[in-house]
Structure 1
C-alpha cells in the first residue's frame, strides 16, 4: 500500500504532466454536458475534441491521447460513432474511459455497456454505484442517471468487473472508491451541492480521460481523477451559495489548482 504522502505526490506530478503535455482528449458524450466537459478539460490543461460522427472519429483518434465514451446519448449515430472510435483506439493502443450512464434503467443501456466492456476493454470504467452494480449483473437501484445505492454496496460488483475485464473502476459518491486488481483507494471531499449540477459525473469521466492520456497506471489515473474532482469541488463550494455559481467556481478551481492546495485538501486512503 502507498502512503497518503506518496499518493498525493503522484497526483500533483500527474497534474503537472497533464498541463505540460496538454493531451487531446476525444469525447463522445451526452449532448447535455458537451460544453461543461469541454470547459473542464480546458481548465485543467487538456485539449478537448467533441464528436460522435463515425467518419470523423478515426482521424481524431490518431491525434488523441485518450478516448472518452459516455453513454448518455444513445441515438443510432452516436452508437455507431462509439463502435468506430473504440475499434480504432484499440488498434492504436489509446486508452478508453467508459461511462455507463443510466445502466440498469433499461436493457439497451445495460447491454451496450457490457458489450463495450467485453469487446473494447476500457482502461477505466467510471460510474455511480447503481450503474456499476447493473453492469456487473447485480440489482442496483437507479434513479435515472442518479443512484439510490451507496458506493460500498457496489464494491463487490466493481471487483468482479476489474477481474473480468482488466479495467480499473472508479465509483463516484460521497466517498469515491477506486478498485483495480488488489488495490483500493477511498477519497473524500467535494461538496453536497455537486450532485445538483448537471454533468459533474460526466466531467469526472472526461478528466479521467485526461489523466489516462498521461498516466499509464489505470488505478493511479482514476485516483488522480477522484482527487481533483473532490479538491476542486470543495474549493468551489467555499465561494458558492448555490449550484449555479458552483459550476463557475469549479472551472476556476481546476484552472488555479496548485501544489499547496492539493496537499492541503487531498483526502485519499489507500
Structure 2
C-alpha cells in the first residue's frame, strides 16, 4: 500500500475510534478515493442510474460521512451480479444484501423488514396479516415464483388460484412487481405478496388506494422477515467494521431515509413494526 494511502486509512480508523493496528488487515482492493458502490441500474425503488432510489440516498449518506464521492458500477442484480462487480474489484460495497448470504461478507444489519400482502383498500381481505386467514380461501393472489411466501401459500391451499410472476429478470426490460401491482389495480388479482422494501415505496409513490400489510405473524418456516446488511468482499473484515461503525453512528439518518421512502421497518425479531414494542 502506498504511504499516502496508509496515512489516509490510519486517519480514517482513528476518526472511528479503531486501533491503528487493524491497518495491517486492510485490503488494498478497497478504494481510498471514492465510495465505490455495486448497484442495479433499474431496480426501483431501491437503486437506479438516475440515483434517486433509497439505496442511492443511503450510499450518498455513507460517502458524505467518509468525505468521499460516490462512484457506481452498474450491473443487473441477477445471476453473475456479485461475480461481475464486487469480486471483479469494480466496486467495494453492495448497499442492500440479505444477512447470512455466503457470496459476500455481511456488515451488521441496518434494517429489518418482511414480505407483505398488498390489497385494495376496503376489499374483503384488506388488512389480512397471515396467510392462514380463512378470508384468503379461493382468492387470486399474485406471488413471485420461488419466493418464501409461495411455500406458505402451498401449505394453506392457496396455490391453485395463484398467479405467478418471474423471479430473476433484468429490470431494464421486465418489471414483474410493477406488473403484479398493475394487475391488482385492474382487479385481475385480489392481493399481491411482495417484499416490503419494494411494495411499501411503490405503493406510496404510485398506487394510492392500496394497503401494505407486513406478514409478521407467520410462525412456521420459511420465515418471511429478513435483516438487510451491506455486502463487502469476503475477508475484508476491516472494511466491514468501518461500515459497521458508520451504520451504528448514523442509524437514525438511515431510518429516516427508509421511512421517507415508505419501507416498512420491523424490530430485529421481525414480530412487529419498529417502535411499537412488539
TM normalised by structure 1 equals 0.31
Higher RCO, Cα 8 Å, sep 6+? 2
Structure with more helix by fraction: 1
TM normalised by structure 2 equals 0.30
Indicate the structure (1 or 2) with the bigger Cα radius of gyration.
2
